[in-house]
Amino acid sequence: MDNQSFGIGILGIGSCLPDRVITNFDLEKMVDTTNDWIVKRTGISERRILEKDEPAYKLGVKAAQKAIDDAGLKPEDIDFIIVTTSTPDYLTPSMSCIIQSEIGAVNAAAVDINAACTGFIYALKIAEPLIISGFYKKILLISCESLSKVTDWEDRATCVLFGDGAGAVVIGAVEKGLGIVKTCVGADGSIGHNLTIPCCYMNSSDIEKRTHENKRVLWMDGSEVFKFAVKAMADAISKVLENSNFSIEDVKLIIPHQANIRIIDGAAKKLGISLSKMYTNLHKYGNISSASIPVALNEAHDLNLIEKGELAILVGFGGGLTWGSTLIKWNR
């Protein structure tokens, strides 16, 4: 960033959530659980869910249109689209190609990536050098998820956690000294078996773990993922700060992946910071996978919680297992 005549930052941002709300009290009627149990263990009170016949890409379309409008651009100004999703409507055509067509981004290449809940951070890591190279000028990143379609609604351990939604940003050149400072990403596939969503193949272990009739649903080892997540989030924040020569005290706001309030609180304690420095909205939306960070960022921006020139950290973890963090000097 220091050797460039410009920074790489967020030109526009938008999000979209489904209209349908499922509260904890609704879940009490579906599985053996209570509102108090869910809130105490997760921090979640309600989540937004697509209707059964409603595709996820429509959320991505609306989020993308809002981000493009917010950037003061037209769809034809976009020259690359990256969609992050672990729940595409189709394996092919990709979610990115569907959205490209729907919004009229006729000049854009389009590709999907899957880093589960860390997807948005991975997309930032991919987009930044593409703009630095000069080959692309305006990149649209869309995180679009429909976890309700792969949730086992008979499993009280997981069905209370997830929701649907989409967030989008347009990335491009900004004033020098502003925008993305550093992004760090990582993965450990050797522990990926702790969180799985089968697609075209299932082994015997996958089948045995899923005790209800529908086997093509999300399964996770909650305790193992919890331990991984707390450490991964704290380490990812520390690493991006160390590589940028900033301290945690320099950071105005941290926007973590919205998985579980106990994970966020655990990471805050590990870092020695107040939970108030972490922006949270999971009480309203639950875990919306890769969409959680851009949706939360959109809200924080609308609430004026970050001002131009202030530092923010975006941090996530997810299936794979993956993790990542971005330090950004806000340019809006």
Per residue in 252-294, pLDDT (tens digit) is: 999 999 999 999 999 999 999 999 999 999 999 999 999 999 9
pLDDT at 3: 66
Note the pLDDT of residue 212: 80
Closest CA to 327 of 270, 232, 228, 251: 251
Domain's final residue, options 122, 154, 176: 176
User: CA 261, CA 263: separation in Å to the nearest integer?
Assistant: 5
Residue 137 CA to residue 132 CA, distance in Å, equals 9
Q: Find the CATH number of the domain harbouring 33.
A: 3.40.47.10
Q: Do the domain assignments include residue 2? A: no
pLDDT attached to residue 2: 55
For residues 145 and 186, membership in a common domain is answered with no
Q: Is 305 left (phi over 0), alpha (psi -120 to 50) or beta?
A: alpha
pLDDT of residue 298: 98
Instruction: For the chain, list residues with pLDDT below 70.
Output: 1-3
Q: Is residue 299 part of a domain?
A: yes
The answer to whether residue 57 is domain-embedded is yes
Residues near 204 by beta carbon (within 8 Å), at least 6 away in sequence: none
Check whether residue 161 and residue 15 sit in a common domain: yes
Domain end point (choices 122, 150, 176): 176
Residue 68 and residue 101 share a domain: yes
Same domain, 108 and 206: no
Is residue 67 one of the residues assigned to a domain? yes
Please identify, among 146, 176, 206, the residue that sits at the C-terminal boundary of a domain: 176
Domain with 171, as residue range(s), is: 7-176
Handedness of CA 273, 279, 285, 290 (dihedral sign): negative
Estimate to the nearest angstrom the gap between the alpha carbon of 96 and the chain centroid: 16
Would you say residue 322 lies in a domain?
Answer: yes
**Do residues 103 and 222 share a domain?**
no
303 in the same domain as 267? yes
Q: State whether residue 87 is helix, strand or coil.
A: coil
Residue 67, helix vs strand vs coil: helix
Written as six digits, the tokens of 45 are 């009170």
Cβ atoms within 10 Å of 31's Cβ, excluding its own: 14
What ranges make up the beta strands (E) of the chain?
7-16, 21-23, 46-48, 80-84, 109-113, 139-146, 164-174, 179-187, 195-196, 219-220, 251-256, 311-318, 322-329
Same domain, 43 and 161: yes
Please write the tens of the pLDDT for every residue from 216-251: 889 999 999 999 999 999 999 999 999 999 999 999
Identify whether residues 119 and 231 lie together within a single domain.
no
Does residue 1 sit within a domain? Answer: no
Could you give the residue numbers annotated as active site?
117, 257, 287
What is the number of domains present in the chain?
A: 2
**Claim to verify: residue 189 and residue 166 sit in the same structural domain:** no
Phi, psi for 74 (deg, rounded to 5)? -115, 155
What integer best gives the mean pLDDT of the chain? 96
The pLDDT value recorded for residue 48 is 98
Q: Which residues make Cβ contacts (< 8 Å) with residue 156, sequence separation at least 6?
A: 27, 31, 32, 33
Spatial separation of the C-alpha atoms in residues 301 and 328, rounded to whole Å: 13
**23 & 141 share domain:** yes
In a domain, 73, yes or no: yes
- Say if residue 14 is in the same domain as residue 94: yes
Provide the 3-class DSSP secondary structure of residue 300: helix
Which pLDDT belongs to residue 59?
98
DSSP string, 246-299: --GGGEEEEEE--S-HHHHHHHHHHHT--GGGB---HHHH-B-GGGHHHHHHHH
Q: Is the dihedral of CA 101, 102, 105, 111 positive or negative?
A: negative
Say whether both 105 and 215 belong to one domain: no
326 contacts 314 by C-beta, under 8 angstroms = yes
